[in-house]
Amino acid sequence: MVALTLPDGSIRNFDMPVTGLDLAKDISPSLAKKAVLMRVDGELWDLRRLLEKDHSVAIVTRDQEEDVLDVLRHDAAHVFAQAIKELYPETQISIGPSIENGFYYDVYREKSFVEDDLALIEKKMHEIVERNEPITREIWSRDKAIEYFKSIGEDLKVEIIQDIPGEEPLSFYQQGSFIDLCRGPHMPSTKFVGKAFKLMKLAGAYWRGDSNNMMLQRIYGTAWPTEQQLKDYLYMLEEAEKRDHRRLGKEMSLFHLQEEAPGSVFWHPQGWSLYTQVRDYMRARLESEEYKEVNTPQLVDRSLWEASGHWEKFRELMFATEEAEDRHLLVKPMNCPCHVQIFNQGNKSYRDLPLRMAEFGACHRNEPSGSLHGLMRVRAFVQDDAHIFCTEDQIESETIAFTKLLLSIYKDFGFDDVRVKFSDRPEVRAGTDDTWDRAESALLKASKAAGLETTLNPGEGAFYGPKLEFVLKDAIGRDWQCGTLQVDFVLPERLGATYVGEDGNKHRPVMLHRAILGSFERFLGILIENFAGRFPLWLAPTQVVVAPITDDVNDYAREVQNLLKQSGLRCEVDLRNEKISYKIREHSHGKIPVILVVGRRESEERQVTVRRLGSQDQETLSLQLALEKLENESKMPNGV
How far CA 472 is from CA of 286, 469, 537, in Å, comes to: 20, 10, 22
Distance of CA 209 to the CA centre of its chain: 24
Closest CA to 192 of 22, 13, 68, 343: 68
Q: How many residues does the chain have?
A: 640
DSSP structure class, residue 322: P
The rounded distance, in Å, linking the Cα atoms of 172 and 184 is 8
Closest CA to 611 of 587, 577, 637, 635: 587
Answer for the pair 439, 487: CB distance below 8 angstroms, yes or no. yes
Query: CA angle at residue 234 from 231 to 235, to 5 degrees?
Result: 85
Answer for the pair 444, 424: CB distance below 8 angstroms, yes or no. no
How far CA 455 is from CA of 463, 467, 527, in Å, comes to: 20, 12, 25
The rounded distance, in Å, linking the Cα atoms of 86 and 626 is 69
Give the up-direction half-sphere exposure of residue 330: CA atoms within 13 A in the CB hemisphere: 23
Start-to-end Cα distance in the chain = 72
The rounded distance, in Å, linking the Cα atoms of 630 and 567 is 9
Residues catalogued as catalytic: 336, 365, 383, 385, 387, 467, 513
Closest CA to 553 of 572, 539, 573, 527: 573
Closest CA to 45 of 10, 81, 63, 21: 21
Determine phi and psi for 44, rounding to 5 degrees.
-70, 135
Determine phi and psi for 270, rounding to 5 degrees.
-65, -45
Query: CA angle at residue 203 from 198 to 205, to 5 degrees?
Result: 125
Answer for the pair 537, 543: CB distance below 8 angstroms, yes or no. yes
DSSP structure class, residue 528: H
Helix axes 433-449, 395-412, angle to 10 degrees: 50
Contacts of 26 (CB under 8 A, 6+ apart): 12, 14, 18
Peptide bond between residue 637 and the one before it cis (omega within 30 degrees of 0):
no
How do strand 544-548 and strand 594-598 relate by DSSP bridges?
A: parallel
